[in-house]
């Protein structure tokens, strides 16, 4: 029960501190993105464009999003999240906050950056979601979907995710 209240407090704190208070209603004019290979659809701000510096990333100076899939092998969602949050480069800083979420009836983990996040990944947050059913990409099975987005946009974007 203590863990529940801790996660609730982290969520409320994050919501309060967010610079961009974006409601679901305000996302209604966002663009639709659908990827049949990754079995996902989502919405993103209408003024974001594909960034040619990356193989796959949309955004502008205000924010961004990108995504991929994770095989997960025989790892749990929590193990996959820990590996992503704390790998060698510390992309979310040395003390990221991990919050339990549910996205489209699937277990998920939100990774919020700490103050010491490296400049190369500045403002990047992550969201790892268990696919409803594993997907196949190039003959390999993937069990988890990962979204990276600006920390102020990850929650509003996550609320638009649909697995297809």
**Residue pLDDT, tens place only, 115-139:** 999 999 999 999 999 999 999 999 9
At residue 51, the pLDDT reads 87
Is the pLDDT assigned to residue 101 strictly greater than 70?
Answer: yes
Domains and CATH numbers, the chain: 26-163 (3.40.1000.10)
Q: What is the 3-state secondary structure (H, E, C) of the chain?
A: CHHHHHHHHHHHHHHHHCCCCCCCHHHHHCEEEEECCCCEEEEECCCCEECCCCCCCEEECCEEEEEEEECCCCCCHHHHHHHHHCCCCCCCCCCCEEEEEEECCEEEEEEECCCCCCHHHCCEEEEEEEEEEEEEECCEEEEEEEEEEECCCHHHHHCCCEEC
At residue 13, the pLDDT reads 40
At residue 20, the pLDDT reads 45
**Residue pLDDT, tens place only, 46-90:** 999 998 887 789 999 999 999 999 999 999 999 999 999 999 889
Mean pLDDT over the full length of the chain: 88
The confidence band for 27, taking pLDDT boundaries of 50, 70 and 90, is confident
Rounded Cα–Cα distance for residues 52 and 46 (Å): 17
């Amino acid at each position: 029960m203590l863990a529940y209240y801790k996660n609730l407090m982290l969520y409320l704190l994050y919501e309060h501190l967010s610079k961009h208070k974006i409601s679901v209603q305000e996302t209604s004019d966002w663009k639709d993105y659908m990827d049949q290979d990754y079995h996902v659809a989502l919405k993103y701000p209408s003024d974001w464009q594909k960034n040619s510096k990356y193989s796959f990333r949309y955004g502008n100076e205000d924010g961004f999003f990108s995504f991929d899939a994770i095989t997960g092998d025989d790892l749990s969602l929590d193990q996959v999240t820990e590996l992503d949050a704390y790998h060698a480069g510390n992309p979310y800083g040395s003390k990221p906050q991990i919050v339990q979420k549910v996205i489209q009836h699937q277990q998920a983990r939100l990774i919020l950056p700490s103050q010491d996040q490296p400049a190369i990944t500045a403002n990047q947050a992550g969201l790892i979601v268990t696919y409803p059913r594993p997907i196949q990409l190039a003959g390999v099975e993937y069990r988890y979907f990962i979204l990276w987005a600006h920390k102020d946009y990850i929650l509003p974007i996550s609320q638009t995710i649909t697995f297809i």
